[in-house]
Amino acid sequence: MPPITTAAMPPTIHWPNGRTSSCAPGRDWLLAARDAGFSIPTGCLGGSCGACEIEVNGRMVRACIATVPPIRSGELRVELASDPFW
């Protein structure tokens, strides 16, 4: 039987509201947030407006078109992006 790698295991997600959750890599960010009781603001739901931008481990992603990535460390930290022009 092949060994289980941490990249295949669901990461622990730390949300801005202090909650933690886990979900399978590949799950839509908006659904992962909803399941964790966290609301990510949205606008166009097509990736063009930027209202849903979140910072995941220091990298900006648009939650409406991105999915939870596999990660070897098993930990993802999410912050809401702040745009001084909004």
pLDDT at 82: 77
Comparing 54 with 5, the larger pLDDT belongs to 54
Instruction: For residue 64, give the CATH number of its domain.
Output: 3.10.20.30
Q: Give DSSP secondary structure letters for 25-51.
A: TT-BHHHHHHHTT-----SSSSSSS-T
- Whether residue 41 lies inside any domain: the answer is yes
- Whether residue 1 lies inside any domain: the answer is no
- Whether residue 55 lies inside any domain: the answer is yes
Q: How far apart are CA 62 and CA 6, in angstroms?
A: 25
Quote the number of domains for the chain. Answer: 1
Taking 70 as the threshold, does the pLDDT of residue 5 lie above it? no
61, β-bridge pairs: 54
* Model confidence band, residue 8 (pLDDT cutoffs 50, 70, 90): low
pLDDT at 9: 83
pLDDT at 6: 47
pLDDT in tens, 31-82: 999 999 999 999 999 999 999 999 999 999 999 999 999 999 999 999 998 7
